[in-house]
């Protein structure tokens, strides 16, 4: 005879997992990520929610002209977005590992 899982224990575990995930999401949304382009001529700061907080330009960036400044700004935004995405993926991998959820990490490709 197999043991049936205790429903109240499963619900409690699910609530704990939800709480941990919510806390992780909140922490990530408050974090700031800086995207840089043009060797530091442009810096864009985004939150983990992809909200723009700051945009900084060096005087040299303005001397490059309008089109270059536009391209550098887009590149800095893209750099910051990639950093947010990487941090989010890393956080989720750590959480799932800590919670004992299989991540597929180290699995062989078929």
Residue range 17-30, pLDDT digits in tens? 888 888 888 989 99
Does 22 or 36 have the greater pLDDT score? 36
Report the DSSP beta bridge partners of residue 32. 47
Q: Tell me how far apart the alpha carbons of residues 48 and 88 are, in angstroms, rounded to a whole number.
A: 8
Domain spanning 29-98: CATH 3.30.360.10:
no
Q: What is the pTM of this model?
A: 0.75
Closest CA to 45 of 36, 28, 37: 36
- Lowest average pLDDT, out of 22-31, 69-78, 82-91, 93-102, goes to 93-102
Domain extents in the chain:
29-98
Q: Is 102 exposed, middle or buried (CB count within 10 Å of its CB: 0-12, 13-18, 19+)?
A: exposed
pLDDT of residue 3: 64
Arithmetic mean of pLDDT, 48-57:
96
pLDDT given for residue 108 in this prediction: 44
């Amino acid at each position: 005879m197999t043991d049936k899982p205790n429903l109240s224990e499963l619900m409690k575990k699910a609530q704990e997992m939800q709480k941990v995930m919510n806390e992780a999401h909140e922490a990530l949304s408050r974090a700031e990520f800086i995207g840089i382009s043009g060797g530091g001529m442009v810096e864009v700061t985004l939150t983990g929610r992809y909200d723009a907080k700051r945009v900084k330009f060096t005087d040299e960036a303005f001397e490059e002209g309008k089109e270059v400044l536009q391209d550098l700004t887009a590149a800095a935004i893209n750099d910051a977005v990639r950093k947010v995405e990487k941090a989010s993926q890393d956080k989720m991998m750590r959480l799932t590992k800590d919670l004992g959820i299989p991540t597929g990490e180290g699995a062989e490709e078929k």
